[in-house]
Structure 1
Amino acid sequence: MKQAIVGFERDEEGHWVARLACGHGQHMRHDPPWQQRPWTETEAGRASKIGVVVECLKCDRGEVPTFPVE
């Protein structure tokens, strides 16, 4: 299911997690060469992704949200 990014926070290992409108989180790692997301490294880069729609597999599986829905 498509969901918009509404914010970001770090997990316990310091990786960036996108908060989605549905209340789920999705990791957005920059881990070259496997994952190329240099925009996660700056506040401006992360801010530029607010509102971007991504696929939420947790919604597709019917998982309970982990964040309060905004």
Structure 2
Amino acid sequence: MQQAIIGFHLDEDHHWVAELACGHGQHVRHNPPWQNRPWVITEQGRQEKLGLLLDCKKCEETGSMA
């Protein structure tokens, strides 16, 4: 189920987590060559991704939103 990014925060390991409209979070790491997301390392890049839809794995597992 796709959900909009409404914010970001750093987890306890200092990895960026996208805060989704459903209340869940999803890591958005920049870890080349496996994950190429250079936008996540700058404030401007993260701000530009607000509203972007991501597949929420937790919503898909439960079949509903939070």
TM over 0.5: yes
Equivalent pairs: percent with the same residue? 58
Report if aligned partners of 2:19, 2:26 keep a CA contact under 8 Å in 1.
Answer: yes
| CA–CA distance in structure 2, aligned partners of residues 57 and 50 of structure 1 | 18
Higher helix proportion (structure 1 or 2): 2
Residue 33 in structure 1 maps to residue 33 in structure 2: yes
Partner of 1:57: 57
Which aligned segments of 4 or more residues in structure 1 are displaced greater than 2 angstroms?
none
How many residues were matched structurally? Answer: 65
Q: Deviations for 1:25-61, whole angstroms, at most 9, x for unmatched residues?
A: 0000000111100000100000000000111110011
Report if aligned partners of 2:22, 2:65 keep a CA contact under 8 Å in 1.
Answer: no
TM superposition score normalised by structure 1: 0.87
TM superposition score normalised by structure 2: 0.92
Partner of 2:3: 3
Aligned residues: CA RMSD: 1.5
